Amino acid sequence: MNDYRLARSEAKFADLIWQHEPIGSGELVKLCEKEMHWKKSTTYTVLKKLCDKGIFQNENAVVSSLIKKDEFYARQSRRFVEDTFNGSLPKFLAAFIGGKKISARQAEELKKLIDEHKEE
């Protein structure tokens, strides 16, 4: 999986897979019909697209992820910071906070994260 952003419907579809994996492809078709009002052909078309992107696999009619949800969105978040803020985490945080105050608990959590991940 390189740089791949999910459209809204793809994200909802991916979330269904992540919530129910491993899931039989037939069961996935039924789930998508119920939750997204998709036809069988739509489900298989989007599944193939996301399998080709290296996010999921469909082996022996069982669909599972090649990359977990948290890792997928972590990669997307890192890519967003790279593209939008030239990779500057401080600039991203300044923009995200936007002059608002954060709680003492949030500040402590951020400090802890920084301490855990800073280079020596």
Interval 81-111: pLDDT, tens: 999 999 999 999 989 888 889 999 999 999 9
Split into its structural domains, the chain has a count of 2
- Average pLDDT of span 13-22: 98
pLDDT band at residue 24 under the 50/70/90 scheme: very high
**51 lies in the same domain as 78:** no
**56 lies in the same domain as 88:** no
**16 lies in the same domain as 61:** yes
- Average pLDDT of span 1-26: 90
Per-residue pLDDT for 112 more than 90?
A: yes
**84 lies in the same domain as 51:** no
**108 lies in the same domain as 83:** yes
Domain range enclosing 28: 8-68
**63 lies in the same domain as 76:** no
Q: Is the pTM of this model over 0.85?
A: no
**Is 42 exposed, middle or buried (CB count within 10 Å of its CB: 0-12, 13-18, 19+)?**
middle
**60 lies in the same domain as 76:** no
Task: Report residue 18 as tokens.
Answer: 């992540």
